[in-house]
Structure 1
């Protein structure tokens, strides 16, 4: 039998979740995350793009977050992923972009999520946060 087990899928989603949150909290560089993302099979990249888009939605990104994230990402503001995230409301169909756009989409999504999540950690979660992903230990490592 071929394919992946549901346990493998859950483990992969947890790995991606941890990596994205480490980038958002400056515990890992965006470039290190891009290296990891670039090594994934196309179907896994699409899965990660959907996952990070969900995180961005949950962080309630604003137009200002979108613009700041695009600047942080290093992707041109005119690139498809940059335009999509800065729309009002943002468009989240990043996994449907051509594979050649996936790395740009990852850079933009993770960067925008980092901006929005930082804002939320400094406001809503300040001092009393119980979200496990907001309490990662320092020094989790840069690959």
Structure 2
């Protein structure tokens, strides 16, 4: 995949689901996830930001999750995406940021999602989870 091509919608969503959840579960590094994101076309980057922003909101990001995720992301706490996610309530619209902030937004969103999703896996889903994306380590050997 190159920066000039676009992945089909369903294919992009499946790939984004896998990459984002692998990063969230520390099966892939944030740098590896960001490198994947950088290879996407500008349109696909915007779509992935929309998807990951939705994942973070579905994980019910708390203020503590946001602060811990921003710290984990390596992004300055004063960067626009960091400020947006730390607002109460967190702002959305990361795909509307200028293109030069998209990688920063991806790093923040994935890191914050990772913190929130880990918290929810330990509380809400503990022992009785049927979410396929919470069982990636068992499927890690699959292509």
Structure 1: gaps of 5 or more residues: none
1:70–1:111 Cα contact (<8 Å) kept:
yes
1:27–1:138 Cα contact (<8 Å) kept:
no
What is aligned with 1:41?
41
What is aligned with 2:82?
82
**Is 1:122 paired with 2:118?**
no
User: Alpha-carbon deviation of 1:137?
Assistant: 2.8
What is aligned with 1:134?
134
**Is 1:100 paired with 2:100?**
yes
What is aligned with 1:26?
26
User: Alpha-carbon deviation of 1:72?
Assistant: 0.2
2:23–2:114 Cα contact (<8 Å) kept:
yes
| Paired positions, count | 137
Structure-2 change in CA distance of 1:4 and 1:95 (3 Å):
closer
Q: What TM-score, normalized by structure 2, do the two folds share?
A: 0.91
SS in 2 for 1:101: helix
Q: What TM-score, normalized by structure 1, do the two folds share?
A: 0.91
What is aligned with 2:70?
70
